[in-house]
Amino acid sequence: MSETRENLPLQRLNTQSGFGKTEDQKNVADPSFKIGENIGGYRLTRFIARGGMGEVYEARQAQPDRRVAIKLVSPERLEDLRRKDRFFKEIRVSSQVQHPNLVTFFDAGVDRGIPYLVMEFVEGDNLQNLVHTSGPLPENRALRIAAHVARPLATAWDERQILHRDIKPDNILFDIRDGRIRLTDFGLGTIENESGDLTFTHLLIGSPDFMSPEQAADPTDLDQRSDMYALGCTLYFLLTGMPPFSRTDVAAVLRAHQTETFPDPRVGNPEISEACWRLLQGMTAKARAARYRTWQPLLDDLHDVRKGRMPSRWNAQQRGNEGHSLAQNSAEKMASIKNPPWRRLLRGLSGRGGGGDR
Ligand SMILES: Nc1ncnc2c1ncn2[C@@H]1O[C@H](COP(=O)(O)OP(=O)(O)OP(=O)(O)O)[C@@H](O)[C@H]1O
Ligand SMILES: [Mg+2]
């Protein structure tokens, strides 16, 4: 098969943005497990990529005979029992959300101390890689993808109050078999740390490039507008090829999300419409009260902008003041937290060793 944009081998997908991962994790290409090895009854057939939690392989299930993707979680991620319980609970809850744009979880377990998660295999590429190899996407296509990601997020929130918490281009797959957009890793961003909150481990998993100001400040008090912000940052990436705040270190990125004006994507790409920019502002206002309140008006505006109309369900003028003062509150709240999650993240990153999983 030739290497076109649409069928690039998944082995080449180890091109993460890098935040939240050690240098070793970013650079090591060698898998920790042998091809042919059996984990939990699944035979590993191909190494796909290493991510923030462990490694993803293509595998074969015997009964029913099918191809699956298996995520082998680094045991250090789930070393205590409580975290392991939480991991499996999250998977149980997340697997109740069914949507054509979601990757379905099939199974989860622990084999010889290695926690694993079995999912539907998606033949294709993730959006991070797609944009890195082919460049920014045309506006209409980027908006269509955003709508296809927003729909399962709306279903999960409206029906069960479940958040994704780690929306980013790496977690959005493009299925070459049917062209469908598939969101992965639903709910995996909520594993508890030792002190019982949801922050430290999550930040190591997630990417600050796409993280809402409130998620960095207090990840225990989030709603659908936090995923919406991350989807807005992802849309910006699809349109420009860059995350909104490119900085040299994690703290600077998180600070920029808190305090700096969201960049106008038309500066780098003049073909982007005014309507699209306005929609993006409605998704990424610093204060969540200044964003679209729920998913449906956003979905309606995504539809309208794709049809060449201005978005009408979010009004920048009306919300400008409210957004500004609430953004200040959020920044003050962040500054007042004595030991914010991102500070622990930095300590964690500087103290972490290599990426070997076994
Ligand atoms: N169900 C799947 N089918 C095929 N490929 C997959 C599947 N799930 C994940 N992948 C591939 O494996 C890569 C690594 O996934 P993984 O979730 O471990 O890391 P990540 O998404 O980069 O980071 P994070 O751990 O923060 O989610 C993905 O980017 C994707 O390309
Ligand atoms: Mg992932």
- DSSP state at residue 137: P
Report which of residues 84 and 95 the model is more confident about: 95
Q: How far apart are CA 44 and CA 42, in angstroms?
A: 6
Q: Choose which residue among 48, 77, 172 to substitute to test ligand 1 binding: the one with the highest number of ligand atoms within 8 A of its C-beta.
A: 48
What is the Cα–Cα distance from 247 to 27, expressed in whole angstroms?
20
Q: Are 53 and 165 in contact (CB under 8 A)?
A: no
Task: Place 3 in a pLDDT band, splitting at 50, 70 and 90.
Answer: very low
How far apart CA 121 and CA 65 sit, in angstroms, is: 13
**Which amino acid appears at position 105 of this protein?**
F
How far apart CA 51 and CA 57 sit, in angstroms, is: 11
Name the percent of the chain lying above pLDDT 70: 73
Burial of 1 (0-12, 13-18, 19+ CB in 10 A): exposed
Among 68, 174, 184, residue to substitute to test ligand 1 (most atoms within 8 Å of Cβ)? 184
Query: Which of 81-85, 120-124, 206-210 has maximum average pLDDT?
Result: 120-124
Nearest CA to ligand 1 atom 29: 170
Least distant ligand from the CA of 71: 1
3-state secondary structure of 118: strand
pLDDT tens, 133-164? Answer: 999 999 999 999 999 999 999 999 999 888 99
* Main-chain dihedrals φ then ψ at residue 14, nearest 5 degrees: -80, 50
Cα(79)–Cα(76) distance, integer angstroms: 5
Span from the CA of 16 to the centroid of ligand 2 (angstroms): 10
Looking at residue 190, its pLDDT comes to 58
CATH number (1.10.287.110, 3.40.50.150, 1.10.260.40, 1.10.510.10) of 124-337 reads 1.10.510.10
Tell me whether residue 166 is one of the annotated catalytic residues: yes
Q: For residue 304, what are the CA distances in angstroms to 141, 147, 150, 197, 284?
A: 14, 11, 15, 40, 18
- Domain residue ranges of the chain, discontinuous segments joined by +: 21-120, 124-337
Among 25, 130, 173, the mutation site with the greatest number of ligand 1 atoms within 8 A of its Cβ is 173
* Cα(51) to centroid(ligand 1), Å: 6
The residue with greater pLDDT, 14 or 197, is 197
Q: Is the CB of 48 under 6 A from ligand 1?
A: yes
Q: Which residues contact 191 (CB under 8 A, 6 or more apart)?
A: 77, 78, 83, 86, 87, 90, 198, 201, 202, 205
Distance CA 324, CA 133 (A): 37
Over residues 3-29, mean pLDDT:
33
Question: How far, in Å, from the CA of 16 to the mean position of ligand 1?
Answer: 10
Q: Has residue 249 got a pLDDT over 50?
A: yes
φ and ψ of 30, to 5 deg: -70, 130
pLDDT beyond 90 at 280:
yes
Atom number, ligand 1, closest to the C-alpha of residue 128: 29
Q: How far is the CA of 206 from the centre of ligand 2 (A)?
A: 9
Quick one: tokens of 195? 């002190």
| pLDDT mean over 327-339 | 49
Rounded to the nearest whole angstrom, what is the distance from the C-alpha of residue 70 to the centroid of ligand 1? 10
Q: Is the CB of 69 under 6 A from ligand 1?
A: yes
Cβ atoms of residues 200 and 348 within 8 Å:
yes
Tens-digit pLDDT profile for residues 19-78: 233 334 444 457 889 999 999 999 999 999 998 788 999 999 999 999 999 999 887 777
DSSP 121: -
pLDDT value, residue 82 = 67
Query: What stretches of the chain adopt beta strand conformation (E)?
Result: 38-39, 42-50, 54-61, 66-73, 105-111, 114-120, 124-126, 172-175, 181-183
Protein residue with least CA distance to atom 9, ligand 1: 56
Q: What is the position in ligand 1's atom list of the atom closest to the CA of 13? A: 31
In the prediction, which pLDDT does 245 show?
96
Query: Which CATH number fits the domain 21-120, given the four candidates 3.30.1490.190, 3.50.50.60, 3.20.20.70, 3.30.200.20?
Result: 3.30.200.20
Q: For residues 321 and 91, what is the distance between their CA atoms, to the nearest angstrom?
A: 40
Ion ligand 2: residues, CB within 5 A, are 51, 171, 185
26, 16 in Cβ contact below 8 A? yes
Q: Which among 24, 80, 125, 166 is annotated as catalytic?
A: 166
Length of the chain: 358
Report the nearest atom of ligand 1 relative to the CA of 125.
31
Q: Is the pLDDT of residue 199 over 60?
A: no
Contacts 24+ apart (CB under 8 A), 180-183: 180/100, 180/101, 180/148, 181/101, 181/145, 181/148, 181/149, 182/101, 182/102, 182/103, 182/120, 182/122, 183/101, 183/102, 183/103, 183/149, 183/152, 183/153
Q: Which ligand is nearest to the CA of 165?
A: 1
Among the bound ligands, name the one nearest to the CA of residue 16.
1
* Separation CA 41–CA 255 (nearest Å): 45
Residue owning tokens 């460049």: 135
At residue 224, the pLDDT reads 96
